[in-house]
Chain A
Protein backbone atom coordinates (compact mmCIF):
# COMPACT_ATOMS: atom_id res chain seq x y z
CA UNK A 1 0.00 0.00 0.00
CA UNK A 2 1.33 3.44 -0.91
CA UNK A 3 2.47 5.48 2.07
CA UNK A 4 -0.09 8.12 3.15
CA UNK A 5 2.21 11.05 2.37
CA UNK A 6 2.79 9.68 -1.14
CA UNK A 7 -0.96 9.43 -1.68
CA UNK A 8 -1.28 13.03 -0.58
CA UNK A 9 1.47 14.22 -2.88
CA UNK A 10 0.10 12.20 -5.83
CA UNK A 11 -3.34 13.69 -5.21
CA UNK A 12 -1.86 17.17 -5.19
CA UNK A 13 0.02 16.49 -8.44
CA UNK A 14 -3.21 15.30 -10.08
CA UNK A 15 -5.02 18.39 -8.87
CA UNK A 16 -2.32 20.70 -10.22
CA UNK A 17 -1.61 18.90 -13.51
CA UNK A 18 -5.12 17.76 -14.41
CA UNK A 19 -7.46 19.97 -12.38
CA UNK A 20 -9.14 16.89 -10.93
CA UNK A 21 -9.95 16.52 -7.25
CA UNK A 22 -10.04 13.20 -5.40
CA UNK A 23 -13.65 12.14 -5.95
CA UNK A 24 -14.17 9.76 -3.02
CA UNK A 25 -12.56 7.45 -0.49
CA UNK A 26 -12.37 4.62 -3.01
CA UNK A 27 -10.14 6.86 -5.12
CA UNK A 28 -7.69 7.06 -2.23
CA UNK A 29 -7.66 3.24 -2.20
CA UNK A 30 -7.21 3.13 -5.96
CA UNK A 31 -4.32 5.56 -5.78
CA UNK A 32 -2.70 3.61 -2.98
CA UNK A 33 -3.08 0.42 -5.01
CA UNK A 34 -0.85 1.86 -7.71
CA UNK A 35 1.83 0.40 -5.49
CA UNK A 36 1.06 -2.93 -7.10
CA UNK A 37 1.79 -1.52 -10.56
CA UNK A 38 4.91 0.22 -9.26
CA UNK A 39 6.07 -3.11 -7.84
CA UNK A 40 5.55 -4.80 -11.19
CA UNK A 41 7.47 -2.04 -12.95
CA UNK A 42 10.28 -2.26 -10.40
CA UNK A 43 10.63 -5.99 -11.07
CA UNK A 44 11.23 -5.48 -14.78
CA UNK A 45 12.96 -2.12 -14.63
CA UNK A 46 16.36 -3.52 -15.59
CA UNK A 47 14.95 -4.80 -18.85
CA UNK A 48 12.90 -1.74 -19.65
CA UNK A 49 14.10 0.83 -22.09
CA UNK A 50 12.84 3.03 -24.85
CA UNK A 51 13.47 1.37 -28.19
CA UNK A 52 16.15 3.09 -30.28
CA UNK A 53 14.89 1.50 -33.47
CA UNK A 54 11.46 2.05 -35.02
CA UNK A 55 9.32 -0.77 -33.70
CA UNK A 56 5.70 -0.32 -34.60
CA UNK A 57 3.23 -2.64 -32.99
CA UNK A 58 1.31 -3.13 -36.24
CA UNK A 59 4.53 -4.22 -37.95
CA UNK A 60 5.08 -6.77 -35.19
CA UNK A 61 1.54 -8.09 -35.70
CA UNK A 62 2.29 -8.63 -39.38
CA UNK A 63 5.76 -10.09 -38.80
CA UNK A 64 4.67 -12.67 -36.23
CA UNK A 65 1.75 -14.17 -38.10
CA UNK A 66 1.43 -17.94 -38.44
CA UNK A 67 3.96 -19.38 -40.87
CA UNK A 68 2.31 -19.78 -44.24
CA UNK A 69 -0.23 -17.02 -43.79
Chain B
Protein backbone atom coordinates (compact mmCIF):
# COMPACT_ATOMS: atom_id res chain seq x y z
CA UNK B 1 0.00 0.00 0.00
CA UNK B 2 1.35 3.46 -0.83
CA UNK B 3 0.64 6.54 1.19
CA UNK B 4 -1.51 7.81 -1.68
CA UNK B 5 -3.83 4.84 -1.25
CA UNK B 6 -5.20 6.50 1.85
CA UNK B 7 -5.25 10.02 0.48
CA UNK B 8 -2.92 13.02 0.39
CA UNK B 9 -3.39 13.81 4.09
CA UNK B 10 -1.61 10.55 4.90
CA UNK B 11 1.61 11.62 3.19
CA UNK B 12 4.47 12.55 5.45
CA UNK B 13 5.64 16.16 5.33
CA UNK B 14 8.55 15.42 3.00
CA UNK B 15 6.43 13.13 0.83
CA UNK B 16 3.86 15.90 0.47
CA UNK B 17 6.53 18.48 -0.36
CA UNK B 18 8.12 16.22 -2.95
CA UNK B 19 4.78 15.24 -4.50
CA UNK B 20 3.94 18.93 -4.83
CA UNK B 21 7.35 19.76 -6.28
CA UNK B 22 6.97 17.00 -8.90
CA UNK B 23 3.50 18.19 -9.84
CA UNK B 24 1.83 15.01 -8.62
CA UNK B 25 -0.48 16.84 -6.25
CA UNK B 26 -1.59 20.45 -5.95
CA UNK B 27 -1.29 22.50 -2.80
CA UNK B 28 -5.03 22.99 -2.95
CA UNK B 29 -5.60 19.23 -2.95
CA UNK B 30 -3.30 18.87 0.06
CA UNK B 31 -5.12 21.61 1.95
CA UNK B 32 -8.57 20.28 1.07
CA UNK B 33 -7.58 16.77 2.18
CA UNK B 34 -6.43 18.12 5.54
CA UNK B 35 -9.51 20.31 5.95
CA UNK B 36 -11.72 17.30 5.27
CA UNK B 37 -9.94 15.30 7.99
CA UNK B 38 -10.33 18.14 10.47
CA UNK B 39 -13.99 18.64 9.66
CA UNK B 40 -14.67 14.92 9.96
CA UNK B 41 -12.75 14.16 13.13
CA UNK B 42 -11.82 17.18 15.22
CA UNK B 43 -15.04 16.97 17.19
CA UNK B 44 -13.52 13.82 18.67
CA UNK B 45 -9.92 15.05 19.01
CA UNK B 46 -10.30 18.79 19.80
CA UNK B 47 -6.87 19.65 18.42
CA UNK B 48 -7.80 22.89 16.67
CA UNK B 49 -8.31 26.32 18.23
CA UNK B 50 -8.57 28.45 15.08
CA UNK B 51 -8.91 27.20 11.51
CA UNK B 52 -7.94 29.73 8.82
CA UNK B 53 -9.70 27.86 6.04
CA UNK B 54 -10.03 30.58 3.43
CA UNK B 55 -6.54 32.00 3.96
CA UNK B 56 -5.06 28.52 3.58
CA UNK B 57 -6.92 27.89 0.34
CA UNK B 58 -5.84 31.28 -1.03
CA UNK B 59 -2.21 30.60 -0.13
CA UNK B 60 -2.44 27.14 -1.75
CA UNK B 61 -3.86 28.60 -4.93
CA UNK B 62 -1.05 31.15 -5.07
CA UNK B 63 1.58 28.42 -4.63
CA UNK B 64 -0.08 26.33 -7.35
CA UNK B 65 0.10 29.30 -9.72
CA UNK B 66 3.75 29.92 -8.87
CA UNK B 67 4.69 26.31 -9.45
CA UNK B 68 2.79 26.24 -12.75
CA UNK B 69 4.75 29.33 -13.79
CA UNK B 70 8.00 27.56 -13.01
CA UNK B 71 8.92 29.63 -9.97
CA UNK B 72 11.64 28.32 -7.68
CA UNK B 73 9.83 27.39 -4.47
CA UNK B 74 11.06 26.45 -1.01
CA UNK B 75 11.63 22.99 0.49
CA UNK B 76 8.27 22.98 2.27
CA UNK B 77 6.24 24.49 -0.55
CA UNK B 78 2.61 23.44 -0.60
CA UNK B 79 2.66 21.63 2.75
CA UNK B 80 -0.27 22.34 5.12
CA UNK B 81 0.74 22.87 8.73
CA UNK B 82 -0.84 24.17 11.92
CA UNK B 83 0.96 25.38 15.01
CA UNK B 84 0.65 25.48 18.76
CA UNK B 85 -1.23 28.65 19.66
CA UNK B 86 1.78 30.39 21.21
CA UNK B 87 3.67 31.31 18.04
CA UNK B 88 2.91 34.96 17.42
CA UNK B 89 1.70 36.20 14.06
CA UNK B 90 1.26 39.96 13.91
CA UNK B 91 -2.37 40.96 14.00
CA UNK B 92 -3.70 37.46 14.81
CA UNK B 93 -4.91 36.30 18.20
CA UNK B 94 -2.50 34.02 20.08
CA UNK B 95 -4.35 32.61 23.08
CA UNK B 96 -1.50 30.57 24.55
CA UNK B 97 -4.27 28.16 25.52
CA UNK B 98 -5.42 30.54 28.22
CA UNK B 99 -8.32 32.67 29.33
CA UNK B 100 -5.91 35.45 30.26
CA UNK B 101 -4.67 35.79 26.68
CA UNK B 102 -7.90 34.85 24.93
CA UNK B 103 -7.83 38.19 23.04
CA UNK B 104 -4.07 38.79 22.91
CA UNK B 105 -3.00 40.16 19.51
CA UNK B 106 0.81 40.33 19.11
CA UNK B 107 2.50 43.01 17.06
CA UNK B 108 5.31 40.79 15.83
CA UNK B 109 5.60 37.51 13.93
CA UNK B 110 7.75 34.71 15.29
CA UNK B 111 10.99 34.18 13.37
CA UNK B 112 10.22 30.49 13.06
CA UNK B 113 6.90 31.27 11.38
CA UNK B 114 8.65 33.67 9.02
CA UNK B 115 11.13 30.96 8.06
CA UNK B 116 8.37 28.41 7.46
CA UNK B 117 6.48 30.97 5.36
CA UNK B 118 9.61 31.62 3.31
CA UNK B 119 10.03 27.88 2.75
CA UNK B 120 6.55 27.74 1.23
CA UNK B 121 4.61 26.10 4.07
CA UNK B 122 0.88 26.78 4.35
CA UNK B 123 -0.23 27.86 7.83
CA UNK B 124 -3.83 26.70 8.36
CA UNK B 125 -4.31 28.03 11.88
CA UNK B 126 -3.63 27.41 15.55
CA UNK B 127 -3.75 24.41 17.84
CA UNK B 128 -4.91 23.45 21.28
CA UNK B 129 -2.25 23.26 23.98
CA UNK B 130 -1.83 23.13 27.71
CA UNK B 131 -2.61 26.51 29.26
CA UNK B 132 0.57 28.59 28.92
CA UNK B 133 2.36 25.35 27.92
CA UNK B 134 2.41 24.35 31.57
CA UNK B 135 1.23 20.75 31.75
CA UNK B 136 2.47 17.44 30.34
CA UNK B 137 -0.94 15.82 29.85
CA UNK B 138 -2.99 17.98 27.45
CA UNK B 139 -5.69 19.09 29.89
CA UNK B 140 -7.15 22.49 29.05
CA UNK B 141 -9.95 24.00 31.11
CA UNK B 142 -10.55 26.89 28.70
CA UNK B 143 -10.66 25.28 25.25
CA UNK B 144 -11.56 21.75 26.33
CA UNK B 145 -9.13 18.90 26.78
CA UNK B 146 -7.37 17.78 23.64
CA UNK B 147 -7.84 14.02 23.27
CA UNK B 148 -5.63 11.20 22.16
CA UNK B 149 -6.75 10.11 18.69
CA UNK B 150 -5.91 6.49 19.53
CA UNK B 151 -8.38 6.58 22.42
CA UNK B 152 -10.16 9.78 23.48
CA UNK B 153 -10.22 8.74 27.13
CA UNK B 154 -6.43 8.96 27.25
CA UNK B 155 -4.05 11.91 27.44
CA UNK B 156 -2.61 13.21 24.17
CA UNK B 157 0.41 14.49 26.09
CA UNK B 158 1.36 18.09 26.62
CA UNK B 159 1.98 20.74 26.41
CA UNK B 160 1.87 20.63 22.59
CA UNK B 161 -1.27 18.50 22.72
CA UNK B 162 -2.99 19.68 19.54
CA UNK B 163 0.29 19.40 17.63
CA UNK B 164 0.75 15.73 18.54
CA UNK B 165 -2.89 14.75 18.24
CA UNK B 166 -3.35 16.59 14.94
CA UNK B 167 -0.27 15.15 13.26
CA UNK B 168 -1.34 11.67 14.40
CA UNK B 169 -4.91 12.21 13.15
CA UNK B 170 -3.60 13.31 9.72
CA UNK B 171 -5.10 16.78 10.11
CA UNK B 172 -1.89 18.35 8.72
CA UNK B 173 1.63 17.21 7.89
CA UNK B 174 3.62 19.07 10.53
CA UNK B 175 3.18 21.31 13.55
CA UNK B 176 5.31 23.45 15.76
CA UNK B 177 5.43 22.46 19.38
CA UNK B 178 7.57 23.85 22.16
CA UNK B 179 9.57 21.88 24.71
CA UNK B 180 10.60 23.06 28.18
CA UNK B 181 10.33 19.73 30.01
CA UNK B 182 9.15 17.37 27.30
CA UNK B 183 6.31 19.26 25.64
CA UNK B 184 7.26 18.15 22.11
CA UNK B 185 8.46 14.64 22.92
CA UNK B 186 5.56 13.73 25.21
CA UNK B 187 2.71 14.41 22.79
CA UNK B 188 4.86 12.79 20.11
CA UNK B 189 5.15 9.56 22.10
CA UNK B 190 1.59 9.54 23.47
CA UNK B 191 0.10 10.12 20.01
CA UNK B 192 2.52 7.93 18.04
CA UNK B 193 4.38 10.57 15.99
CA UNK B 194 7.93 11.91 15.77
CA UNK B 195 9.01 14.93 17.83
CA UNK B 196 12.35 16.73 17.90
CA UNK B 197 13.78 19.05 20.53
CA UNK B 198 17.00 20.54 19.24
CA UNK B 199 20.03 21.64 21.18
CA UNK B 200 19.23 24.56 23.50
CA UNK B 201 19.71 27.75 21.40
CA UNK B 202 19.41 25.86 18.06
CA UNK B 203 16.14 27.55 16.98
CA UNK B 204 15.14 31.18 17.52
CA UNK B 205 12.55 31.89 20.19
CA UNK B 206 11.71 35.37 18.99
CA UNK B 207 7.94 35.82 18.94
CA UNK B 208 7.29 32.74 21.03
CA UNK B 209 5.49 32.77 24.38
CA UNK B 210 8.09 32.19 27.11
CA UNK B 211 7.68 29.60 29.84
CA UNK B 212 11.22 29.21 31.12
CA UNK B 213 13.95 31.40 29.63
CA UNK B 214 16.62 28.79 30.27
CA UNK B 215 14.90 25.66 29.01
CA UNK B 216 12.40 26.65 26.29
CA UNK B 217 12.89 25.08 22.86
CA UNK B 218 11.13 25.38 19.52
CA UNK B 219 10.68 22.27 17.38
CA UNK B 220 8.46 20.13 15.18
CA UNK B 221 6.00 17.29 15.56
CA UNK B 222 5.92 15.33 12.31
CA UNK B 223 5.51 11.79 11.03
CA UNK B 224 9.13 10.84 10.33
CA UNK B 225 12.72 11.60 11.25
CA UNK B 226 13.25 12.79 7.67
CA UNK B 227 10.43 15.30 8.16
CA UNK B 228 12.11 16.52 11.35
CA UNK B 229 15.45 16.85 9.53
CA UNK B 230 14.02 19.05 6.82
CA UNK B 231 11.93 21.08 9.25
CA UNK B 232 14.95 21.74 11.44
CA UNK B 233 17.11 22.83 8.55
CA UNK B 234 14.49 25.40 7.57
CA UNK B 235 13.98 26.74 11.08
CA UNK B 236 17.42 26.52 12.75
CA UNK B 237 20.16 29.13 12.74
CA UNK B 238 21.07 32.38 14.39
CA UNK B 239 18.44 35.10 14.58
CA UNK B 240 19.47 38.66 15.48
CA UNK B 241 16.07 39.05 17.14
CA UNK B 242 16.98 36.25 19.57
CA UNK B 243 20.48 37.00 20.86
CA UNK B 244 20.51 33.66 22.69
CA UNK B 245 20.20 31.71 19.42
CA UNK B 246 23.31 29.80 18.37
CA UNK B 247 25.68 30.83 15.60
CA UNK B 248 26.62 27.19 14.96
CA UNK B 249 26.36 26.36 11.24
CA UNK B 250 23.18 24.54 10.20
CA UNK B 251 24.10 21.34 8.32
CA UNK B 252 22.02 19.45 5.78
CA UNK B 253 20.42 17.09 8.24
CA UNK B 254 18.74 15.03 5.52
CA UNK B 255 22.12 14.26 3.98
CA UNK B 256 23.04 12.48 7.22
CA UNK B 257 20.15 10.01 6.94
CA UNK B 258 22.13 7.12 5.51
CA UNK B 259 20.32 4.29 7.25
CA UNK B 260 23.68 2.96 8.38
CA UNK B 261 24.29 2.67 12.11
CA UNK B 262 27.48 0.64 11.92
CA UNK B 263 30.01 2.01 14.37
CA UNK B 264 27.39 3.90 16.36
CA UNK B 265 27.26 3.23 20.09
CA UNK B 266 24.01 3.73 22.00
CA UNK B 267 24.04 3.86 25.80
CA UNK B 268 21.10 2.77 27.92
CA UNK B 269 21.14 4.53 31.31
CA UNK B 270 20.00 2.08 33.90
CA UNK B 271 19.76 4.86 36.46
CA UNK B 272 16.54 6.91 36.56
CA UNK B 273 15.03 6.32 33.11
CA UNK B 274 13.99 2.69 33.60
CA UNK B 275 13.00 2.89 37.26
CA UNK B 276 9.44 1.60 37.85
CA UNK B 277 8.79 1.43 34.12
CA UNK B 278 5.65 -0.45 33.05
CA UNK B 279 6.25 -3.88 31.53
CA UNK B 280 4.67 -3.13 28.10
CA UNK B 281 6.84 -0.03 27.81
CA UNK B 282 9.99 -1.94 28.70
CA UNK B 283 9.12 -4.67 26.20
CA UNK B 284 8.68 -2.17 23.36
CA UNK B 285 11.87 -0.34 24.39
CA UNK B 286 13.97 -3.51 24.44
CA UNK B 287 12.57 -4.54 21.06
CA UNK B 288 13.51 -1.10 19.70
CA UNK B 289 17.07 -1.58 20.95
CA UNK B 290 17.24 -4.89 19.12
CA UNK B 291 16.13 -3.15 15.93
CA UNK B 292 18.87 -0.56 16.32
CA UNK B 293 21.37 -3.34 16.98
CA UNK B 294 20.23 -5.11 13.82
CA UNK B 295 20.99 -1.92 11.89
CA UNK B 296 24.57 -1.99 13.14
CA UNK B 297 24.49 -0.06 16.42
CA UNK B 298 26.27 -1.27 19.51
CA UNK B 299 24.14 -1.19 22.68
CA UNK B 300 25.82 -0.61 26.06
CA UNK B 301 24.32 -0.52 29.56
CA UNK B 302 25.66 2.27 31.75
CA UNK B 303 25.02 4.07 35.02
CA UNK B 304 25.06 7.85 35.21
CA UNK B 305 25.62 9.13 38.77
CA UNK B 306 25.16 12.80 37.91
CA UNK B 307 21.49 12.30 37.01
CA UNK B 308 20.47 12.78 40.64
CA UNK B 309 21.80 16.33 40.61
CA UNK B 310 20.45 16.98 37.12
CA UNK B 311 16.96 16.05 38.25
CA UNK B 312 17.12 18.15 41.39
CA UNK B 313 18.18 21.25 39.49
CA UNK B 314 15.84 20.70 36.54
CA UNK B 315 12.77 21.00 38.73
CA UNK B 316 14.05 24.16 40.34
CA UNK B 317 14.77 26.13 37.17
CA UNK B 318 11.51 25.62 35.35
CA UNK B 319 9.42 26.17 38.49
CA UNK B 320 11.14 29.42 39.42
CA UNK B 321 11.24 30.89 35.93
CA UNK B 322 7.60 30.01 35.27
CA UNK B 323 6.56 31.60 38.55
CA UNK B 324 8.54 34.73 37.74
CA UNK B 325 6.95 35.20 34.32
CA UNK B 326 3.45 34.82 35.76
CA UNK B 327 3.86 36.84 38.95
CA UNK B 328 1.73 39.83 37.95
CA UNK B 329 -1.15 37.67 36.74
CA UNK B 330 -0.88 35.47 39.84
CA UNK B 331 -1.42 38.60 41.93
CA UNK B 332 -4.23 40.03 39.88
CA UNK B 333 -5.93 37.22 37.97
CA UNK B 334 -5.19 33.94 39.75
CA UNK B 335 -8.79 32.81 39.35
CA UNK B 336 -8.42 32.98 35.56
CA UNK B 337 -5.95 30.11 35.56
CA UNK B 338 -6.99 26.46 35.74
CA UNK B 339 -6.58 25.29 39.32
CA UNK B 340 -3.73 22.93 38.50
CA UNK B 341 -1.75 25.71 36.84
CA UNK B 342 -2.10 28.35 39.51
CA UNK B 343 -1.21 25.63 42.02
CA UNK B 344 1.91 24.65 40.10
CA UNK B 345 3.02 28.25 39.63
CA UNK B 346 2.36 29.03 43.28
CA UNK B 347 4.90 26.52 44.57
CA UNK B 348 7.59 28.19 42.48
CA UNK B 349 7.55 31.23 44.77
CA UNK B 350 8.63 29.10 47.73
CA UNK B 351 11.90 27.87 46.22
CA UNK B 352 14.91 29.68 47.72
CA UNK B 353 16.67 32.02 45.28
CA UNK B 354 20.12 30.67 46.07
CA UNK B 355 19.10 27.24 44.80
CA UNK B 356 17.94 28.79 41.54
CA UNK B 357 21.25 30.62 41.10
CA UNK B 358 23.13 27.48 41.98
CA UNK B 359 21.06 25.43 39.51
CA UNK B 360 22.06 27.82 36.74
CA UNK B 361 25.71 27.92 37.79
CA UNK B 362 25.94 24.12 37.84
CA UNK B 363 24.31 23.66 34.44
CA UNK B 364 27.52 23.87 32.43
CA UNK B 365 29.56 21.64 34.75
CA UNK B 366 26.77 19.06 34.90
CA UNK B 367 26.50 19.03 31.12
CA UNK B 368 30.23 18.32 30.96
CA UNK B 369 29.82 15.61 33.60
CA UNK B 370 26.87 13.99 31.81
CA UNK B 371 28.81 13.93 28.55
CA UNK B 372 31.75 12.36 30.37
CA UNK B 373 29.60 9.73 32.08
CA UNK B 374 27.13 8.91 29.30
CA UNK B 375 28.41 10.16 25.95
CA UNK B 376 32.12 9.46 26.06
CA UNK B 377 32.56 6.29 24.05
CA UNK B 378 28.90 6.44 23.11
CA UNK B 379 27.11 8.54 20.52
CA UNK B 380 23.59 8.48 21.87
CA UNK B 381 21.59 7.77 25.00
CA UNK B 382 18.36 5.78 24.59
CA UNK B 383 15.42 5.78 27.00
CA UNK B 384 11.68 5.20 26.87
CA UNK B 385 10.15 8.67 26.36
CA UNK B 386 7.44 7.88 28.92
CA UNK B 387 8.04 5.21 31.56
CA UNK B 388 4.43 4.28 32.02
CA UNK B 389 1.59 3.32 29.77
CA UNK B 390 -0.32 6.35 28.44
CA UNK B 391 -2.47 7.55 31.36
CA UNK B 392 -6.10 8.52 31.03
CA UNK B 393 -7.24 12.12 31.20
CA UNK B 394 -9.26 11.23 34.30
CA UNK B 395 -6.41 9.72 36.31
CA UNK B 396 -4.18 12.76 35.71
CA UNK B 397 -6.88 15.42 36.17
CA UNK B 398 -5.62 17.52 39.06
CA UNK B 399 -8.47 20.00 38.80
CA UNK B 400 -10.95 17.20 39.50
CA UNK B 401 -8.87 15.61 42.26
CA UNK B 402 -5.66 17.11 43.71
CA UNK B 403 -4.67 13.59 44.75
CA UNK B 404 -3.73 13.00 41.11
CA UNK B 405 -0.82 15.44 41.50
CA UNK B 406 2.01 12.91 41.69
CA UNK B 407 0.79 10.93 38.67
CA UNK B 408 0.41 14.19 36.74
CA UNK B 409 3.96 15.30 37.54
CA UNK B 410 5.48 11.89 36.80
CA UNK B 411 4.57 12.09 33.11
CA UNK B 412 7.63 14.19 32.25
CA UNK B 413 10.18 12.31 34.40
CA UNK B 414 12.19 10.97 31.43
CA UNK B 415 12.10 14.09 29.27
CA UNK B 416 12.93 16.89 31.77
CA UNK B 417 16.62 16.04 32.30
CA UNK B 418 17.45 16.74 28.64
CA UNK B 419 16.06 20.25 28.92
CA UNK B 420 18.39 21.10 31.78
CA UNK B 421 21.26 19.50 29.86
CA UNK B 422 20.23 21.26 26.65
CA UNK B 423 20.83 18.16 24.52
CA UNK B 424 19.18 17.37 21.18
CA UNK B 425 16.58 14.69 21.67
CA UNK B 426 14.07 12.95 19.42
CA UNK B 427 11.10 10.74 20.23
CA UNK B 428 9.91 8.18 17.70
CA UNK B 429 7.07 5.67 18.01
CA UNK B 430 8.33 2.16 18.82
CA UNK B 431 5.24 0.08 19.49
CA UNK B 432 1.97 -0.08 21.37
CA UNK B 433 1.10 -1.02 24.92
CA UNK B 434 -1.42 -3.63 25.97
CA UNK B 435 -4.23 -1.04 25.77
CA UNK B 436 -3.40 -0.11 22.17
CA UNK B 437 -1.74 3.23 22.99
CA UNK B 438 1.64 4.19 21.50
CA UNK B 439 5.04 3.78 23.15
CA UNK B 440 7.96 6.09 22.34
CA UNK B 441 11.72 5.68 22.05
CA UNK B 442 13.80 8.69 23.08
CA UNK B 443 17.30 9.25 21.66
CA UNK B 444 19.59 12.03 22.88
CA UNK B 445 22.99 13.09 21.57
CA UNK B 446 25.76 15.56 22.26
CA UNK B 447 25.17 19.29 21.75
CA UNK B 448 24.45 20.12 18.09
CA UNK B 449 24.47 16.42 17.17
CA UNK B 450 20.97 16.59 15.70
CA UNK B 451 22.27 14.88 12.55
CA UNK B 452 23.39 11.83 14.55
CA UNK B 453 20.17 11.73 16.56
CA UNK B 454 18.09 11.90 13.39
CA UNK B 455 20.27 9.36 11.59
CA UNK B 456 19.50 6.79 14.25
CA UNK B 457 15.79 7.70 14.31
CA UNK B 458 15.59 7.45 10.53
CA UNK B 459 17.40 4.11 10.47
CA UNK B 460 14.93 2.83 13.05
CA UNK B 461 12.02 3.98 10.91
CA UNK B 462 13.46 2.21 7.87
CA UNK B 463 13.14 -1.04 9.81
CA UNK B 464 9.74 -0.41 11.41
CA UNK B 465 6.33 0.91 10.46
CA UNK B 466 5.08 2.25 13.80
CA UNK B 467 5.30 5.81 12.43
CA UNK B 468 3.14 4.83 9.45
CA UNK B 469 0.22 3.64 11.56
CA UNK B 470 -2.71 6.01 11.85
CA UNK B 471 -5.39 5.92 14.54
CA UNK B 472 -8.71 4.48 13.38
CA UNK B 473 -10.86 7.57 13.80
Contact = CB atoms under 8 A, between A and B. Distances in A.
A10 B346 CA distance: 11
A60 B340 CA distance: 35
Contacts, number: 141
Given A60-B363, A61-B367, A64-B446, A50 B358 contact: yes
Given A37-B316, A61-B367, A64-B446, 14 more contacts: A26-B405, A27-B346, A30-B347, A30-B405, A33-B405, A34-B350, A37-B312, A40-B308, A50-B358, A51-B365, A60-B364, A61-B448, A65-B448, A65-B449
Interface residues of B, number: 57
Chain B CB count within 10 A is highest, among A26, A27, A48, for A26
A interface residue count range (under 10 / 10 to 19 / 20 to 34 / 35 or more): 35 or more
Closest 10 pairs between A and B when the two form their complex, measured CB to CB: A60-B364, A26-B343, A40-B312, A27-B343, A30-B343, A23-B342, A23-B334, A27-B346, A61-B447, A30-B347
Contacts of B409: 33
B339 A23 contact: yes
Nearest to A13: B350
Contacts of B291: none
A21 B327 CA distance: 11
Interface of A: 10, 13-14, 17-31, 33-34, 37, 40-41, 43-44, 47-51, 55-66, 69
A66 B346 contact: no
A17 B324 CA distance: 12
Nearest to B342: A23
Interface of B: 199-201, 214, 246, 248, 308-309, 311-312, 315-316, 319, 327, 330-331, 334-335, 337, 339-340, 342-344, 346-347, 349-351, 355, 357-358, 360-365, 367-368, 371, 375, 379, 398-399, 402-403, 405-406, 409, 422, 445-449, 452
Nearest to B399: A26
B448 A57 contact: no
Given A18-B327, A34-B350, A66-B446, A29 B371 contact: no
A51 B362 contact: yes
Nearest to A11: B350
Contacts of B200: 57, 61
A60 B351 CA distance: 26
Nearest to B447: A61
A61 B365 contact: no
A57 B347 CA distance: 26
Contacts of A27: 342-343, 346-347
B309 A64 contact: no
B86 to A, nearest CB: 22
A23 B337 contact: yes
A62 B447 CA distance: 7
Contacts of A44: 308-309, 312
Given A26-B405, A34-B350, A48-B358, A64 B371 contact: yes
